[in-house]
């Protein structure tokens, strides 16, 4: 099985830590050139250094991906420095406060939707013309267990990740004749820095409590990264519109 990723140009967002970091390292190990995009400058630079130390090629673009100017800079840099974009991984995301709908503030709703759903839309829109011109491209979005079910997070995060699933499937259908594939992973609980800022007594967590028992074994970031790399690779050349749970069977319960 060949991944075909050697020499390919790959953008990974949220690559300064957690799942994105593991994906950036895994793509680099396959010989891909990796653009590490993250809000966290220190984390992004550390990942670039880590890749360069092993003889790989990487560069960092830092900033808030919910801003159009940052999105444009990411796409432009990949095109200028790597000659195009073969793979886009929309992985950056933030958790909500596990708030039930009536407790979601405007600010929480706007921020979570903006980072988790609008930012992937903006970056995909910026990158797509380059993929279409090349006649090929693979997009992999990091959705969530919360994109599959209603019992894994608060209202804002759940809505945003269901949105990511819809965006992925629509992209797959609309561009299926033009060499573009779009897939998503749906991670279950994964050992990263992401933790919800939760008040355990609040209505959201209290209401979800009874459904959390079947979560299963917590995943490593590397297990999520392996699924991302597979979906981006030539090994998945006829797979598009799929949402792949990486969750120790949680979604099957
Ligand atoms: P993480 O917090 O370790 O990594 C997220 C990265 O995204 C961070 O480096 C952060 O700086 C970056 N980021 C956040 N907002 C950004 C913005 N506006 N612009 C640019 N970069 C930004 O968390 P993790 O777990 O690696 O999260 C990656 C993805 O996995 C997210 O989309 C998350 O929703 C998803 N996920 C995580 C699960 C878990 O249990 N850890 C479960 C299901 C999904």
Give the per-residue pLDDT at 209. Answer: 86
Of 92, 116, 244, best ligand 1 pocket probe by most atoms within 8 Å of the beta carbon? 92
Tens-level pLDDT at each residue, the chain (253 residues) = 689 999 999 999 999 999 999 999 999 999 999 999 999 999 999 999 999 999 999 999 999 999 999 999 999 999 999 999 999 999 999 999 999 999 999 999 999 999 999 999 999 999 999 999 999 999 999 999 999 999 999 999 999 999 999 999 999 999 999 999 999 999 999 999 988 888 888 899 899 988 877 888 999 999 999 999 999 999 999 999 999 999 999 999 8
Give the per-residue pLDDT at 242. Answer: 98
Residue 9 neighbours by CB under 8 Å, 6+ apart: 32, 33, 35, 78, 82, 83, 84, 85, 86, 87
Residue 16 Cα to ligand 1 middle (Å): 9
Q: Examine the residue annotation and report whether 157 is marked as an active-site residue of this protein.
A: yes
Residue 166 neighbours by CB under 8 Å, 6+ apart: none
Cβ atoms of 138 and 156 within 8 Å: the answer is no
Give the per-residue pLDDT at 200. Answer: 84
Count of CB atoms situated within 10 Å of the CB of 35: 28
All domains in the chain, ordered by first residue? 9-248 (3.40.50.720)
Give the per-residue pLDDT at 121. Answer: 99
Q: What is the pTM of this model?
A: 0.98
Tell me which of 82, 157, 230, 250 is the catalytic residue: 157
Give the per-residue pLDDT at 38. Answer: 98
Cβ–ligand 1 distance for 160 under 6 Å, the answer: no
| Alpha-carbon Rg for the chain in angstroms | 17
Residue 165 neighbours by CB under 8 Å, 6+ apart: 143, 147, 148, 184, 186, 243
Give the per-residue pLDDT at 94. Answer: 98
CA atoms within 13 A on the CB side of 127: 35
Cβ atoms of 58 and 81 within 8 Å: the answer is no
């Amino acid at each position: 099985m060949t991944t075909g990723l050697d020499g390919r140009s790959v953008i990974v967002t949220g690559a300064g830590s957690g799942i994105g970091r593991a994906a950036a390292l895994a793509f680099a190990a396959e010989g891909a050139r990796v653009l590490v995009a993250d809000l966290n400058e220190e984390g992004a630079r550390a990942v670039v250094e880590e890749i360069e130390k092993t003889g790989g090629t990487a560069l960092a673009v830092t900033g808030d991906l919910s801003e159009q100017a940052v999105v444009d800079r990411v796409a432009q840099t990949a095109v200028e420095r790597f000659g195009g974009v073969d793979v886009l991984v929309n992985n950056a995301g933030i958790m909500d406060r596990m708030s039930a709908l009536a407790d979601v503030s405007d600010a929480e709703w706007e921020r979570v939707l903006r980072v988790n759903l609008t930012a992937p839309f903006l970056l995909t829109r910026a990158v797509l013309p380059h993929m279409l011109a090349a006649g090929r491209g693979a997009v992999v979005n990091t959705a969530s267990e919360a994109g599959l079910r209603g019992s894994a997070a608060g209202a804002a995060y759940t809505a945003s990740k269901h949105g990511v699933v819809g965006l992925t499937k629509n992209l797959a259908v609309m561009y299926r004749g033009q060499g573009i594939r779009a897939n998503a992973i749906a991670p279950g609980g994964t050992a990263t820095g992401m933790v919800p800022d939760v008040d355990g007594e609040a209505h959201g967590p209290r209401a979800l409590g009874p459904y959390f028992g079947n979560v299963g074994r917590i995943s490593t970031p590397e297990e999520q990264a392996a699924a991302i790399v597979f979906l981006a690779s030539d090994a998945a050349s006829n797979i598009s519109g799929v949402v792949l749970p990486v969750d120790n069977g949680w979604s099957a319960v």
